[in-house]
Structure 1
Amino acid sequence: MKNLLHLFTACPAMAGKNAIAACLVAGILILGNANLLATTYTFNGSTNSDWATASNWSTGTVPTSLASGDAVVIAANCSMNDVSITFPSGTSLTVNNGIALSPSLNTYITIASGATLTVQASGSIGSGRLTNSGTFDLYGSYTIYYYTNSSGGILNVKSGGTYTNHDGAQTFASGGTVNNDGTMNFGGGSNAGILNNNSGGNITHSDGNGAQLSNSGTINNAGSFLSRTSSTTGMFNNSGTLTSAISAHFTVSNGGTLTNTGMISVPAGAAFNVNSGGTLTNQNTFKGAGTLTQSGTFTNSASAEIEPGASPGKLTVTGDLNLGSATYNCEINGTVQGTSYDWLAVSGAATLTNATLTVTWGFTPSAGQTFSVLTCGSRTGEFATVNIPPVSGLVFTVTHSAGGVTISASSAPVTYTFTGSGNWSSSGNWDANSVPPATLLAGDAIVINGSGTCTMDGNQTINSGATLTVNASKTLTISGAFTLTNHGTMTVNGTLSKSSGSSVLTNSATGGITVASGGALNNDSGSFSNAGTFTTNSGGTFGNGSGTFTNSGTYNNGGSNYSTYGGFSNSGTITNTGTMTGSQYINIQNSGSWTNSAGGSMTMNGFYNSGTNASLTNNGTMSIGLSNSKTFVNNATFTVNYLGQANNSGATWTNSSGATFTVGAVPFSNAGTFHNDGTMTLNQNGNTGSTFANNGTFNCAGTLTLNSGSATNAATKSISLSGTLNLNSAFAFTNSGTINGGGTLNVAGGSLTNNGTISNLGLIGFTGNGTLTVASGSTFSTSNGSNTNITSGTLTVNSGATATMGGQLDIFSGGTLNVNGAMTVSGFAFNNAGIIKGTGTITPTTALNNSGFIRPGASPGTLSISGDLNLGSGTYTCEVDGTSAGQFDVLAVSGTATIGASSKLHLIFSVPIVNGTTFDVLTAGTVSGSFAGGNITYANTGTGNVNGVSLTYPGGNMVRVTATSLLPVELVRFTGKEVDGKALLEWETASELNNEGFNVERSRDGRLWENIGFVAGNGTTTTAQYYSFLDEKPLSPHVGGCEGGCVNYYRLKQTDFDGNFEYSPVVSADLTNLQDLSNLRFFPNPATDAVTLALRTDFSGKAILTLHDLTGRVVKTQQLWLEENTPAPDIRLVGLTAGLYLAKVQAGMQHWQARLLVK
């Protein structure tokens, strides 16, 4: 309009209206031709960044309604707030380099057909609602909120441009086109038009709001297309056409899901990748001659189709391929693999189990031709359905091998029937078709139906698809060195015998041999190897006499009788539901899968289960001598009485719940992992017991019963007992490792010696005569909540061992607890009705309820209780084997020892006790209570002589026993005196016990003694006996050595018949000649507390007495008052030690001396 106004003012004034009108019309025509009416709106942001501010525009007005030819240029950063604008045909919108156009969520921009939108390099549009029916050239970046590429619309993402859809709504409508030479990021959206990802273009389908991308149109990928999402609901659904060009890459990455209900085409040279974690679900067609690299999940539904090549060709799958329920459509137009007929090449494992193979002939095949339509690294299953159009005169065989699938064409089948008797090679023994060829072709058949035995005298091969049948009651014999090789099917209704020579029967991987009911296969010589399927039906028989049977395939023994006296090895699969028996001297080697099914029975002595894939499972009845080096599972009954059982290092042996495993008098060792969840029993066979050595890991959740034999658990090895272990009367078990697990241990007999650790068991029971010994350095503990019941039997804790009883400890009337090490009882109850003994220390943090016996020591010794002890109604039995420390029992209690009204003390004396000897038999911090008189008893054993005991409680912290007794010899009198210069000794006994006699000993000083004679005793007597002995040559002035007086000291050495002896008190006889020596004498001499001095002298007055020990040291000085010839009494000897002293008396100028013996 404003251009029109300029035109109006430019027309000169003319006369008349018609002239002015003509000028205007001419100007308008000129403007229309020269587009002089177009306006360019440039946003310069002179005021702010708001679109709606007029001063921000070069025209001073905000563009709202545009006409063809108008242009809008964003030259400064611009915000569009809730703006709605349409760019009609002939208009344009340009975002300059480095400029950002930021529409709000409720801003609507429409690019109509014929209009253009250009975002220059480094320019950007973010958010808003954009509908494109024109042309959108993106050199910069566009982050969408709502974007619709309508029918007729063209979106060109140029090299360096970036299109990003994280959480927005994206629609590529039918009839629209998207061309990508830059980078596009999809969080979701749909395509019903054409999406061209050109060479150099990158498309990433990544996470976003739902991350679901749907294609019902056409996607042509010549660049890189990566489908990856971390959203669990994210997926790519293709119901249209997805095509990758040569050298292009389409990738479903970790977390991505692509569902194809349309068609995916991967031409030669292109790559389609399903990475680890990615998923491709094919529900329609996947075709091409490119490469599918598969390390994720590729599933095919029943409607899916796989079509290699481009009529025809090779489709390569790098990785595994599971065809699922899909159909492999295979075109065969010639004999060249991958060129004239389709080839599906899988580098990994191909799974065919539920798939269909459908063949389309594009030429006429001939007999003998073979087509390898699928190759693979390994194969699982076979095509469930094979559709091959028939061809006249031909038979087609589909062979599934480990490395792929082949289709072979052969002529129509021929049947060869043996009707005679004798050699195979005689044409007269066959029907009109004569002797079959040495290699029987697929479809052909041999039937043995002779009048007599057919003897094979040449080599024969049965090809895949061919059959050999031995009719009922007919016989085929292979002898000599001839070979029968089966790749097809053999059925034995009669007898197939290998009776002599080195004949060979081979059943290959494609072969199948069935011994029907009533049939028999006898491998009595040579070898029989099975790599295919070998089945003996119920009522059939397979005998491996002296031959060798090797199985690397599948052997199904379906109720038949099997026996072997020859070699037997399996690396394949054996399933037995019948009876299998092996000779005592034959070793069975299994490195495959062997199952003895329910109803099956196996009796074999030497069975070796080893190899990477070895597994043995028993669901029936099995009695074998097994050496297991891999996996053995017993689910039923397993027994062995010959050879040994070994679960070797690295192996796993499982005795399942409900199963039984019984070992006779043979060794069983575990160096691997053993799980006993059922019942396991080690028994005695005759006089020989089983042996069990655990050098691995043994887990017992079931019941293990050790009846007879011995067992060891090695150091550092473990037995996890969550079930029950029964140790019975004739079994010895030594544990040097660890036993734990919360289960039950029943020591019902035999012995368990712990040199390692036993801990955390739920229940420990002692019955019978069972013993559990905790050896020095070992550990024994029970947890809180557990129970230890010593009903009968003995729990012994040796010196140096540690036992912690965290649960209840009950010692019943027949049980014994023998503690010589350290034991802590901290459970919720500690009850003794049996025997507690030993020389160790018991720390009871739980009060002892005692009604049994406490017997310290090990005959005898000290039992320490660290804490309190209540004797309750029990009995403290104390053995006295001597009077010295350690020779009589002591119960040492650190806390309070409580003696109740019914507490009992019983003393046992086994040696003679001197009358009045005391024994502190109980020490404590405090003794509370006392033993009632009627509860104190004693007994004598051996040479015990006690005839009474009494108790005192000195200091309130001990129990002291005083014994009254008869001495072995009760000496009531012993004297010595001088008679006519000789020494007369006389003594008297009140009673004697085992008295052999008396040695008479003499001394001059009371220290050094000599034997001078022997007087025989009277054995045992309770009547008084009188004895005397005359020393005819005592020490006297005439003998010498009597200076200062001549006192002779005497004692008796009383000796029993058993060699025990004791000494009598010392007596003396003074042989001094009073005329030759001084007149000083002491009496008594020997003396104890006091002595009287006698001095024959006429002196009266003060005198000094000094006593000297044997070193000459003065030990006593005393002043005396002497009266003429009067004794001086009461000279005190207190403080003097026993020994001989020299006494000197000094009175004026006179002095006297004599010897004094203090005892």
Structure 2
Amino acid sequence: MTNTGNNFDGNVTIQNAGGISVNDNATFIRNGGANTFKLLIQGIGSSMNVNLDMIWDINSGTEANNELTINDNGTLTVQEDLKLDYSGGMKIMAQLNNTATLNVLKDILFIATADNLVELKLNNSAVLNIGRFFVRGTPKYGLLNCNAASKVVYNGNKYIQVFADTAGSGTGDVFSYMNVQLNNSRPTIPQVTMAGSARIHGILTLTDGVLQTTNSNKIYMRPASSMTAGSNASFIQGPATYSVNTVSSITNVYQVGQNNQLHQVDLTIDQTTNTETEYTVEAIESPAEDFGYSLPGTIDLVSKVRHYSITQSLGTALDDAKIKIYYVPDDGVSDVPNLAVVKDDGASNWIDLSGTGSGSPSGSIISGSFTSFSKFALGNKSGGGNPLPICLLHFSANENNSQVDLSWSTASEINNNYFTVEKSRDAVDFEFVIDVPGAGTSNQTLYYSDIDLGPYRGLSYYRLKQTDYDGSFRYSDLVIVKIKEGGNDEVYFSVQPNPATDVMEVIFGGEIRGKNAPLISEYSGKIFIFDAQAKLIYEKELGSSFTKLGVNLTYFNQGIYFVTLISNDKLYKAKFVKE
């Protein structure tokens, strides 16, 4: 639909259970005019399906905004990208109300030249399902405004997704999340990574998929927010933070974990004032005993498998705090009455916080009170019978002259019958490679190795299965192995020359014997070039036959430009100067 600049109403309305299906791109172009320019989907059963991209290309116009509105329980499904592209005129406003649903199976692109010109707003109980990335230029113009019971769902089974950060342009535009659901069933972990730090004001529901965070890119749960539904299939791998701004006792649930395992921690806080203070928890797969700290007389052993880091930002003093640690079989708890929680004192000493445990080999333990934060772990009281073991220290699979070298190590095995190495082409269906006998029960580090003489060509996945005498078993993380065959798997991305004058080349492909080679079909990509005002200047699909792409810069103004490439489920970025 195009408004060439005349003053006519450009409206498309779908209602009364009506439906529209577009087999190609659905494009809305406005080059001027003062009248409304709108797509409205409303009413029970009303829907629109777009088989490729939906594009809003707004260049000029006055008075009336450009509106994409979904009301009631209307539904819009875009099978590929939703592009909100503003270069002039009135604001692009996409709004979901009531129980409306917007499904975008790939990317949502925000393209603008200043703040408050492109906005996606979720009201009431509206739901946005996104299958891959939010893409913003530099600066990060574009608003995501979530209210009430609305929800953003990172929803997919094919792509590794990137959780868009809250920070935007730095001058006004931000992403404001209310409720967020993680629902990515891609086989390899993590399924979702962070573009930066994100703040959630409502509920984070962990349904499926692991969210990888770091100290600089993490989840901040705002006061009165919560995490729910965590499991071994879905947790935060890395640090997670809650903000507290009350003097009332409050317990926050941290659904953190590592290595295919949820290690939930509940932290109860009693602050002396209502000054907002942040508390960060991380489960770390590193033995507490490796710190070599001195043990108190009441403790003779600390965990050989993991510890927990808990920190407090500058804020208020504590009246009191307690921690509840949820332990699992590989924590090695067998003597609950003699289980304790320990923390370090900052001077290389463990402190006995005692605690009350429940259950074996799985259960939980609530510590005694403390007023400062540091490292925490499980401890065995003097004379107790908790071995607190670790089973698997590492598992690796590495290509070596068209074979795959396998190695792993364990410490303090208990009732370990045997190991099985398995491999898969798709990380779903696995086949047997080899069995290796275990050591039964051992208190020393043991090393194992073997070779797969007949690996798959291309991309494959390996895992280690450890089976006890009683038949119970557990798996390691998946390890990816790539053996080249004809094409290549690694993505190489560069922009040259830089600075450039007439032509700039984007190099995109892999390397075979020192030469650039085309990518296999599953690693095709899409390139975008933005100017310094975040206006989209150029875009192109890159198929599997590309090794490099020449971009004619004749019509580019002098200045700085930003190149974004989406390929192999990842974002690649570069900057160049046009002279």
TM-score (norm 2): 0.40
**Larger relative CO (CA 8 A, sep 6+): 1 or 2?**
2
TM-score, scaled relative to structure 1: 0.22
